[in-house]
Amino acid sequence: LLKKSINKLGSNPNLTVMDNDYLASQTELEQEVTFCVIGASGDLSRKKTLPALFSLYYHNVLPFKFHIVGFGRKRLSDETFREAAMENLSCRAGVVDKDECDRKMQQFLQRVHYVSGHYDSEEDFKKLHEFCCELEEEEDASRMFYLAVPPSVFAFALKNIRLQATSENGWTRVIIEKPFGRDSESYEELRETISKYFDEDQVYRIDHYVGKEVVQNITTLRFGNYVFEALWNREHIRRIDIVFKEDFGTEGRSGYFDSFGIIRDIMQNHLLQVLAYLTMERPNSFKADDISAEKTKLIKSIRQLKAQDFVTGQYEGYRSEEGVPEDSTTPTFAACVLHIDNNRWKDVPVLMVAGKGLNERLAEIRILFRKGLTEAFLQKGNSMGNQIVIRIQPNESISLHVLSKVPGLSTELRETCLDLTYKEKFEHESKDIADAYERLILDAIHGEKSLFIYDEQLEASWKLFTPVLKELESEKSHPPLIYKFGDSIPSQVESLLWKHEAECG
Ligand code: NDP
Ligand code: BG6
């Protein structure tokens, strides 16, 4: 996809892009694959994994011979499991032929099965293996295990997959989901567990923000456009904002959320990944290893965070939610200012904001350019200066805010924007934007790891966040401020920013 975008712009001899245009690759489709979804009755499996697999099937990019086997403790028949799965299957907005969609859904469901068993039972995984063997036609059928279970079950499941259920003659891969630990120590334990049973090239760690359409486009935007690449540094950029807001709360996941909080849930992974793509140096190539090396280098050059760099908050009513202790100080909102100590970004503060229970659902990046002489150009009033706004969701767009003369005889100036709203500029394709999970699962089938998270990135990110999390959580000495559900970003964040901007001069 990256290759296509760059080709449309004209080729750049210094860029080598990864070759992941699978849509035309028939030979790859001939490999038989069984997808085993471990924890198949859960939220993630129902809402994301199975719908993404269906959408890939609908678009004819799953292997010709594939099987989906759900595994979980609940005793379910194939029929009951299929009925539950069907509730969340749908075609993308761009699909107009409803009959075709329904027909394919029925075909897809025929290939969906369910095996019940316990995650800590070797015997039950043997049963799963035997079930898969019966479905598989080829001796070299491969297996993809998607772990959609809570972290407490990871170790058992990985061990039993390894001991009893791997493919005999094909490849075996495991996809695992965040949380990848809750600090450096627990991450280290998880890493040891994983490496005890699987080689690194078999492991696919998902951060679904990396699979989002606009986040994938950051690399092309930066490295495929001279105009941006030339300006992408401290000489021209004065600040970067990365904002994630949700207008809902923990949505029944408070048991998990309360022991993690918003910093671990969103900042340490989703927003840090976005920051890495925005600010890393140009990789030697767009192959997975080179991208990961640059992302890791970037994360390592972020200055150690301190509690004083944060504002944290909790929405009113959070403590009354089921499973939340009444004295919980878990933040549902956090803002922090980071500094990247390298030549490109020295003295450019990065504001990261993540919050649940706010006034809107939005994920957006703002690149704020220096004002330089533009301020002097204005006879009255202040200019915000040029900005690039990258809207990850909803309504994907990239816009460049510029100052313009208003047409007519007056000399009025107005800030307006050059706009690349996906819905308008990619009128047909934008109706068909794939969910992040589709892109990621498809890449995992093809062994393409550039959109997956490498161990070295996680190690560096926990090193960055663990000390400050401990500081914020120590003796509850930094209680979160309380905000009303539905409020906008608390005003204290502005003071935090001013302080850092003043320090940067
Ligand atoms: P769920 O709580 O829905 O659990 C998934 C399944 O695991 C359940 O259906 C249940 O299946 C089994 N299970 C749950 N609790 C236990 C337990 N204590 N012991 C043994 N088995 C248990 O989780 P999700 O589907 O929400 O998430 C799965 C993983 O993905 C987690 O690591 C989560 O953090 C991560 N994740 C989830 C996201 C989401 O949107 N839901 C987003 C990003 C990551 P059964 O009883 O049939 O065995
Ligand atoms: C998940 C978090 O990783 O991302 C959730 O655990 C959050 O708390 C979700 O709601 C947001 O993802 P998206 O794709 O809906 O923005």
In the predicted structure, residue 25 carries a pLDDT above the cut 70? no
Q: Which residues are known to be catalytic?
A: 270
- Mean pLDDT, to the nearest integer, of 229-241? 96
Instruction: Give yes or no for a contact between 446 and 106, defined as CB atoms under 8 angstroms apart.
Output: no
Position in ligand 2 atom list of the atom nearest CA 253 = 8
What would the pLDDT profile of 82-123 be if each residue is shown by its tens digit? 999 988 887 766 666 788 888 999 999 999 999 999 999 999
CA atoms within a 13 Å half-sphere pointing along the CA-CB vector of 437: 17
Residue in 426, 372, 422, 366 with CA at minimum distance from that of residue 394 = 422
User: What is the three-class DSSP state of 315?
Assistant: strand
Distance 463 CA to ligand 1 centre (A): 26
The pLDDT of residue 94 is 62
Position in ligand 1 atom list of the atom nearest CA 42 = 9
Torsion, CA 451, CA 452, CA 457, CA 461, rounded to 10: 90
Q: What is the DSSP string of 352-411?
A: EEEESSBS--EEEEEEEEP-TTHHHH-SSS-----EEEEEEESS-EEEEEEEEEPSSSS-
In the predicted structure, residue 15 carries a pLDDT above the cut 50? no
The pLDDT of residue 319 is 96
Position in ligand 1 atom list of the atom nearest CA 179 = 34
Adjacency order of strands within the sheet including 310-315 = 413-421, 397-405, 387-393, 362-369, 237-245, 350-355, 333-338, 310-315, 481-483
Sign of CA pseudo-dihedral 299, 305, 309, 312 = positive
What angle do helix axes 455-473 and 272-279 make, rounded to 10 degrees?
A: 130
Measured CA to CA, the distance from residue 299 to residue 317 in angstroms comes to 35
Residue in 251, 186, 220, 171 with CA at minimum distance from that of residue 4 = 220
Q: Residue 8 — pLDDT band, cuts 50, 70, 90?
A: very low
- pLDDT above 90: percentage of residues in the chain: 76
Residue in 367, 365, 410 with CA at minimum distance from that of residue 392 = 365
Distance 153 CA to ligand 1 centre (A): 9
Distance 149 CA to ligand 1 centre (A): 4
Q: What pTM does this model have?
A: 0.92
Would you tell me how many other CB atoms lie within 10 Å of the CB of residue 262?
26
- In this structure, which ligand is nearest to the CA of 255? 1
The pLDDT of residue 434 is 81
Counts for the chain of helices (H) and strands (E), in that order: 20, 15
The pLDDT of residue 52 is 94
Distance 104 CA to ligand 1 centre (A): 28
Residue in 400, 438, 405, 442 with CA at minimum distance from that of residue 420 = 400
What would the pLDDT profile of 127-173 be if each residue is shown by its tens digit? 999 999 999 999 999 999 999 998 889 999 999 999 999 999 999 99
What would the pLDDT profile of 388-417 be if each residue is shown by its tens digit? 999 999 999 999 999 888 999 988 888 899
What would the pLDDT profile of 298-337 be if each residue is shown by its tens digit? 999 999 999 999 999 999 999 999 999 999 999 999 999 9
What would the pLDDT profile of 31-60 be if each residue is shown by its tens digit? 999 999 999 999 899 999 999 999 999 989
The pLDDT of residue 22 is 60
- What type of residue sits at position 321? E
Nearest CA owner, ligand 1 atom 38:
44
Instruction: Give yes or no for a contact between 126 and 164, defined as CB atoms under 8 angstroms apart.
Output: yes
- In this structure, which ligand is nearest to the CA of 245? 2
Measured CA to CA, the distance from residue 500 to residue 309 in angstroms comes to 9
| Cα Rg, the chain, nearest whole Å | 24
Residues 6+ positions from 179 with CB-CB distance below 8 Å:
151, 260, 264, 265
- In this structure, which ligand is nearest to the CA of 393? 2
